[in-house]
């Protein structure tokens, strides 16, 4: 359905306007004078009925290509009413147009008046677009129309401003929340490092010292990852990431990444399933960062000892798809679409697992900038699979 024009219906002064607009569309479509008038009368009659009940209505005109013929449709959206197509109030309009339908949807009632256009009216997409342009640019004729149009523009502007304000308030709230989480997340490993360092100073046994130094090393890596993510985020937001694209032997690359991921996630077994060799053009370090993040999350959000499976699929020509599957806590349906948003963390995990909700956002940006796609499937309590695909040609 292609929308040609719409008018808000605020009071009965709009009725002549609806009649005129319907007639102009009929005329532009090349309908006979009597068809133009009948259709326009039916439209303004239904508008009169709804205006008697409520003052906030919308009339929109559409063209619909029903494969063998085109239909001109006038849809009047009004507050939800008990009106139906057999209502006494619509009897007159019903006599004038062949199809009058009433739908109730999303808290509104929609009344559709449909007129099949004669086959002699040859419409193409180009002609329809011209008509849309004509309706948009057609000069306002009466002062009332002009005021109404200006009023509508002001209402739209106010709506846009309100929306901008709402979004900026949400962003501000998210930023302060993020700053408090970030300082907490950074402080936690630092406190642990300090504690281990103090104990290590008193240790005489070199083996125990190495054990403590290992723990300090692990915590320092956590701080490093967080700082790296913060730096990446600011680079990404300012479009300052330079990608060094090169042809990469993907199987070899993935095997190396998985081997080192096994070392940094010693409590999980990672199995790898490779496919036919492919050589995509990619930034080696950035795609490694994507994999480290996905495998790291798979380990973080599943219990020790659970398996992680990394798989490559090249069955679709010119495309490689990597999946990272875990047997972890899973993600609820409502959260699944949000996990790729900046700073998002599912409620259930925030207390138990460290993180800033930046990893998947950064990952998504990297994949998109490689012209790839990223998505996830998950069942709560059973596990999640994250996928990304990259072009290989």
Residues that bind ligand ADP (CB under 6 A): 293, 297-298, 301, 326, 328-329, 331, 339, 344-346, 349, 355-361, 384
- What's the sign of the alpha-carbon dihedral 335, 336, 338, 340? positive
Shortest CB 181 distance to ligand ADP, Å: 9
For ligand ADP, give the closer residue by CB, 58 or 349. 349
Using the minimum distance from each CB to ligand ADP, give the nearer residue, 280 or 355: 355
Which is nearer to ligand ADP, 96 or 346 (by Cβ)? 346
Cα dihedral 183, 184, 186, 192 sign: positive
Residue nearest ligand ADP, Cβ-based:
355
The residue among 320 and 331 lying less far from ligand ADP, judged by its C-beta, is 331
Q: Which are the contacts of 8, defined by CB distance < 8 A and separation ≥ 6?
A: 14, 56, 57, 58, 59, 148, 152
Task: Give 228's contacts (C-beta < 8 A, 6+ positions apart).
Answer: none
Q: φ and ψ at 199, to 5 degrees?
A: -65, -40
Q: How far apart are CA 99 and CA 118, in angstroms?
A: 15
E strands, 95-150, are 99-105, 108-116
CB of 240 to ligand ADP, least distance (A): 20
Nearer to ligand ADP, 96 or 261 (CB): 261
Beta strand 307-313 with 319-326 is antiparallel
CA distances from 315 to 318, 320, 322, 393 (A): 9, 8, 12, 14
Q: Residue 44 or 229: which CB sits closer to ligand ADP?
A: 229
Assign residue 38 a region: left if phi > 0, alpha if psi is -120 to 50, beta otherwise? alpha
Residue closer to ligand ADP, measured from CB, 131 or 376: 376
What is the nearest approach in angstroms of ligand ADP to the Cβ of residue 23? 56
User: Quick one: three-class SS letters along 299-317?
Assistant: HHCCCCCCEEEEEEECCCC
In whole angstroms, the minimum distance from the beta carbon of 355 to ligand ADP comes to 2
- Least Å distance between CB 289 and ligand ADP? 12
């Amino acid at each position: 359905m292609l929308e040609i024009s719409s008018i808000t219906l605020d009071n009965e002064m709009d009725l002549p306007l609806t009649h005129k607009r319907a007639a102009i569309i009929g005329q532009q479509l090349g309908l006979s004078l009597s068809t133009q008038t009948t259709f326009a009368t039916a439209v303004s009659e239904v508008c009169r009925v709804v205006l008697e009940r409520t003052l906030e209505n919308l009339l929109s005109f559409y063209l619909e290509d029903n494969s063998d013929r085109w239909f001109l449709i006038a849809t009047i959206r009004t507050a939800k009413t008990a009106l139906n197509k057999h209502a006494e109030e619509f009897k007159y309009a019903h006599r004038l147009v062949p199809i009058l339908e009433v739908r109730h949807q999303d808290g509104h009632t929609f009344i559709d008046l449909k007129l099949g256009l004669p086959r002699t009216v040859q419409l193409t997409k180009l002609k329809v677009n011209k008509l849309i342009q004509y309706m948009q640019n057609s000069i306002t004729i009466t002062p009332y129309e002009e005021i109404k149009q200006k009023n509508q523009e002001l209402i739209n502007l106010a709506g846009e401003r309100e929306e901008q304000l709402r979004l900026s308030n949400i962003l501000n709230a998210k930023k302060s929340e993020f700053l408090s989480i970030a300082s907490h997340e950074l402080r936690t490993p630092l406190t642990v490092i300090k504690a281990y360092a103090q104990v290590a100073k008193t240790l005489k046994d070199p083996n125990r010292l190495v054990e403590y130094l290992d723990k300090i090393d692990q915590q320092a890596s956590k701080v490093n990852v967080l700082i790296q993510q913060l730096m990446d985020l600011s680079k990404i937001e300012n479009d300052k990431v330079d990608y060094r694209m090169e042809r990469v032997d993907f199987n070899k690359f993935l095997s190396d990444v998985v081997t080192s991921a096994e070392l940094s996630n010693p409590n999980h077994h990672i199995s790898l399933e490779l496919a036919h060799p492919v050589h995509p053009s990619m930034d080696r370090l950035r795609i490694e960062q994507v994999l480290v993040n996905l495998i790291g999350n798979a380990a973080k959000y599943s219990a020790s000892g659970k398996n992680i499976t990394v798989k490559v699929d090249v069955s679709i020509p010119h495309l490689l798809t990597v999946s990272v599957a875990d047997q972890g806590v899973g993600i609820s349906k409502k959260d699944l679409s949000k996990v790729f948003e900046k700073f998002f963390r599912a409620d259930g995990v925030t207390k138990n697992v460290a993180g800033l909700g930046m990893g998947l956002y950064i990952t998504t940006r990297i994949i998109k900038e490689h012209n790839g796609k990223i998505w996830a499937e998950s069942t709560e309590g059973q596990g999640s699979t994250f996928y990304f695909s990259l072009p290989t040609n």
